[in-house]
Amino acid sequence: MQSIEDFIKILELKRYSKNTINSYHSHLRLAKLHFEGKKMKDISDRELFEFIYHLVNVKKISSSYQRQIVGALKLFYKEIYGRTIPFEYLKVQRREQKLPVVLSKEEVQRIIDRIDNLKHKAIIALLYGSGLRIGELLALRKNNIDSDRMLIHVKGAKGKKDRYTILSHKVLDILRAYYLQFKPNDYLFEGQKGGKYSSESAGQVFKRSLKKAKINKRATLHTLRHSFATHLVEDGVSIAHIQKLLGHSNIKTTLIYTHIAQDALYKIKSPLDN
């Protein structure tokens, strides 16, 4: 495992995000387990191909997971052994264009209304009201909230980029009530023993609130971000502005929300009705 640990140290030195490092570590440990103790440097290109083939055709992994594990293995062999693996033919050539799950405005409001705990209510309302990723929200400190300009300063987000996103007046009211009750010391949302609130706990809160609101969609915390973007499109906000609020480096990523928005689609009548 030493070569894998050395690789992780390289990623840390190159300032890869914690999520990326954890993901790559997991993929490499899976490969190591598959080859039953065989040294990573002794695994041939053909064996690596068979490993990926096994994951795709037996384990039925998704195309996104396939891209991740191929990328992890390719970078690992390049950094540790200076070896170029001909992985080009293993890459997914076309991305599956699956549209994300989106909640309606009414469903979001029902979810928030079903939450009694002020900390939990503030987390869910802020995720939706500002379009934040859960990692971005949990990294927020008190001074990242600019109530004068009604903006949130998101620091070191995906791609190590800072950005500003909007702050809802309704969310600000919830945050103020939450702050008076919980009095966080450092991070805006903290666990019972201090430090960052956990994403697992936030996920459980959301899962329970979905059940209370009697919503059966396969929604996650990230669904709130998708819903934020989709509702902005429906409200006539430009894609360029939404891209900035979400922190997307490529506008093509943001354009997916135009396929979900109901701006004019719900007004179109079926020819059968005419």
| Cα angle 246-16-194, degrees, rounded to a multiple of 5 | 75
Residues 6+ apart with CB under 8 A from 199: 134, 135, 138, 221
Residues 6+ apart with CB under 8 A from 253: 243, 246
Coil, helix or strand at residue 187: strand
Judge residue 227's burial from the number of C-beta atoms within 10 Å of its C-beta, 0-12 exposed, 13-18 middle, 19 or more buried.
buried
Residue type at 214? K
CA 206 to chain centre: 15
Give me 173's structure tokens: 């009211």
Tell me the HSE value of 30 on the side-chain side, using a 13 A CA sphere: 20
Active site residues: 133, 158, 222, 225, 248, 257
Coil, helix or strand at residue 39: coil
